[in-house]
Amino acid sequence: MPKIPYVNLAAQWTAERQELLPIVEQVLASGQYIGGNIIQEFEVQAAKACQTKYCVALNSGTDALVCGLLALGVQADDEVITPPNSFIASTAAIVHLRAKPIFVDVLPDQNIDPAKIEAAITSRTKAIMPVHLTGRMGRMDEIRAIAERHDIPLIEDAAQSMGSRYQDIPSGKWGEVGCFSAHPLKNLNACGDAGFLTTDSDEIAQRVRLMRNHGLIDRNTVERFGYVSRMDALQAAILSYRLTELDGVIEKRQRNATLYRELIHQEHIFIPEDRGQEFNTYHTFVIQTRQRDELKAYLLSQGIETAIHYPIPIHLQPAANYLGYSRGSFPVTEEQATQILTLPVHQYLEPQEIECIAQHVNTFFA
């Protein structure tokens, strides 16, 4: 067991036990495990947090992406523009609809480079999917302007960015559709798989509500075949409680990130700045260094667990061979994949632990 683990969900349980147990008990006692008020309450609360008209509670961020793309009308042979440095699910959602992911390289801060989007647009482009990686939002004003100029809908992969804002507008509000994950490792996390979708469109909300429940328009009638993508009532109840705690979670993560920035000497390390218009929620805290592997091994030898998000760009995954990309297709993404290292930043870390990690990083380079 490392001295400082990368995640500590057991600490979350200890901190929340008193509040969570009665909530869980109430759901179990109610016998209402699928659908019902608890789901609706979560949806109202999450839509309010994202400043959208609707939230549709789903079983995962991946299905939020699949349902979102479907609701935008994406189908076989359509193209969807997205970055190649995300978690595999962003691209998988496109592939599951037999559409084609068209990758666009990223900026030093790991988010999609708006200057490269327009060259990737063709007559078959049916959506643009930026990913707000690490909890930092993409340059949504520029991306939105491109989408509007070409009349292409935006679907935000907001899986890592619940609560994040850009120019004071929340993630999930910038696109026609916002897709969130509430996986246990996210800032707003369920005790299992969960996700949700946000939109201002009556039609999209309605379509996704049908799609998450087999496409049933009433108990016995299906107009269009759907999926089983519902959020469990148990997860919705937990998420409703945790949504009330989210500001505190984000504050602690931001405090940890600020401490890192102050303490880590940055001669050999690049840490992307937070620009003025960004409200970064630090799902992860990623540094970039040429000596990434050596630093990772050194930190582990000191009892500090780190992670890499993500070591293999999606276009270089065996599953993506058929798309015809190769090494060199996306130089920024590929270089970053060898240099990125995620330091622990979760809300249960004490400032002394951040100081300890920063000190070991500095010692390694000294």
C-alpha–C-alpha distance, residues 265 and 348, integer Å: 24
Q: Within 18-47, which residues bind ligand PLP (CB under 6 A)?
A: none
Identified binder of ligand PLP from the candidate list 56, 74, 131, 234, rule CB under 6 A:
131
Q: Does 288 bind ligand PLP (CB under 6 A)?
A: no
Q: Does 181 bind ligand PLP (CB under 6 A)?
A: yes
Sign for the pseudo-dihedral over CA of 246, 62, 145, 285 = positive
Please compute Rg for the chain using Cα positions. Answer: 20
Q: Closer to ligand PLP by CB, 21 or 228: give it.
A: 228
# of chain residues touching ligand PLP (CB under 6 A): 15
Q: Does 198 bind ligand PLP (CB under 6 A)?
A: no
Identified binder of ligand PLP from the candidate list 82, 91, 160, 164, rule CB under 6 A:
160
Q: How many C-beta neighbours within 10 Å does residue 120 have?
A: 15
Q: Does 106 bind ligand PLP (CB under 6 A)?
A: no
Q: Does 90 bind ligand PLP (CB under 6 A)?
A: yes
Burial class (CB in 10 A: 0-12, 13-18, 19+), 353: middle
Q: Closer to ligand PLP by CB, 35 or 184: give it.
A: 184
Q: Within 225-244, which residues bind ligand PLP (CB under 6 A)?
A: none
Q: How many C-beta neighbours within 10 Å does residue 278 have?
A: 18
CB 161 → ligand PLP: shortest distance, Å? 9
Burial class (CB in 10 A: 0-12, 13-18, 19+), 117: buried
Q: Closer to ligand PLP by CB, 43 or 157: give it.
A: 157
Judged by CB under 6 A, which stretch of 60-68, 72-80, 140-148, 327-335 contacts ligand PLP? 60-68
The backbone torsions φ and ψ at residue 42, rounded to the nearest 5 degrees and listed phi first, read -60, -40
Identified binder of ligand PLP from the candidate list 4, 38, 42, 62, rule CB under 6 A:
62
Identified binder of ligand PLP from the candidate list 89, 128, 204, 210, rule CB under 6 A:
89
Q: Are strands 195-199 and 177-181 parallel, antiparallel or unpaired?
A: antiparallel
Q: Which residues pair with 155 in a beta bridge?
A: 177
CB 153 → ligand PLP: shortest distance, Å? 18
Q: Closer to ligand PLP by CB, 259 or 346: give it.
A: 346
Exposure string over 138-169, b if 16+ CB within 10 A, otherwise e: bbbeebbebbeeeebbbbbbbbbbbbbbbeeb
CB 255 → ligand PLP: shortest distance, Å? 23
Identified binder of ligand PLP from the candidate list 12, 52, 60, 187, rule CB under 6 A:
60
CA atoms within 13 A on the CB side of 88: 8
Q: CA angle, 35 as apex, 29 and 36 as ends, to 5°?
A: 70
Q: Which residues bind ligand PLP (CB under 6 A)?
A: 60-62, 86-87, 89-90, 131, 157, 159-160, 181, 183, 193, 195
